[in-house]
Each structure stands twice: as C-alpha cells, then as structure tokens.
Amino acid sequence: DVKVTQSSRYLVKRTGEKVFLECVQDMDHENMFWYRQDPGLGLRLIYFSYDVKMKEKGDIPEGYSVSREKKERFSLILESASTNQTSMYLCASSLSGGRAYEQYFGPGTRLTVT
C-alpha cells in the first residue's frame, strides 16, 4: 500500500512564527502536492513538485514556500504564519505519466494560528 505520512495531525502556532509541515511518501512517486482544505472551498492547490528541487505554484501560493531536497519528502513552509492560514493541510503524491491523476493523500495536518 502507498503510504503518505504527515509530520503532525494537529499543530497550534502563533502569528508570525515560521511553520514547517513535512510530508513523506514511500512509493517512489515523482509528483508531490500540497493542498489546503477549507469548508465550502474544497481543496485548493498551494504548490506541487514533479521532481527533486523542482516546484510549481498552484492556485494559492501566496504566503507559502516549499522545499523538495529528496524524492520522498516535500515540505511546506509558512514564513510568517497568519490567522488566515488556519486550515487543514493535505499532502498528496502520484506517479508521472498516464496515472498521474491518481493521487494518494496523507491524513492531513490541522493547523491553528492564534
């Protein structure tokens, strides 16, 4: 079974803090994604990466950055957390090519910024 793990299930941070969310997948997938999930808005893509050290902006990249130094690990960074970044963050991975649409998700990190 594909496994996507996220470093924390729940996280509480203060406004202005630098926040790191970590994601690890164990199936040698080329693609990795970060989404945020908010009620009434569904999933919105923040960033994705199709290879080590490669990244592309998604639909809502403002206030976020990412890092992919190893194939299995994709980190989301909030440089200076703000209350409007309180959300559920989901990491996903997928193969390249014809099955790239089949994304495997982690359980999510619920981040609260106070």
Partner 1 sequence: GDSVTQMEGPVTLSEEAFLTINCTYTATGYPSLFWYVQYPGEGLQLLLKATKADDKGSNKGFEATYRKETTSFHLEKGSVQVSDSAVYFCALNSGGYQKVTFGTGTKLQVIP
User: Is residue 10 a contact point for partner 1 (CB under 8 A)?
Assistant: no
Distance of CA 13 to the CA centre of its chain: 17
What DSSP character marks residue 60?
Answer: -
Residue 5 to residue 20: CA distance in whole angstroms: 14
- Two tokens, residue 92: 């996903």
Q: What's the closest the beta carbon of residue 99 comes to partner 1, in angstroms?
A: 10
User: Is residue 16 a contact point for partner 1 (CB under 8 A)?
Assistant: no
User: Is residue 85 a contact point for partner 1 (CB under 8 A)?
Assistant: no
User: Is residue 27 a contact point for partner 1 (CB under 8 A)?
Assistant: no
Is 39 or 69 the residue whose CB approaches partner 1 more closely?
39
Q: DSSP labels for 2-42?
A: --EEES-SEEEE-TT--EEEEEEESS--SEEEEEEEETTTE
User: Is residue 101 a contact point for partner 1 (CB under 8 A)?
Assistant: yes
User: Is residue 19 a contact point for partner 1 (CB under 8 A)?
Assistant: no
Q: What's the closest the beta carbon of residue 59 comes to partner 1, in angstroms?
A: 9
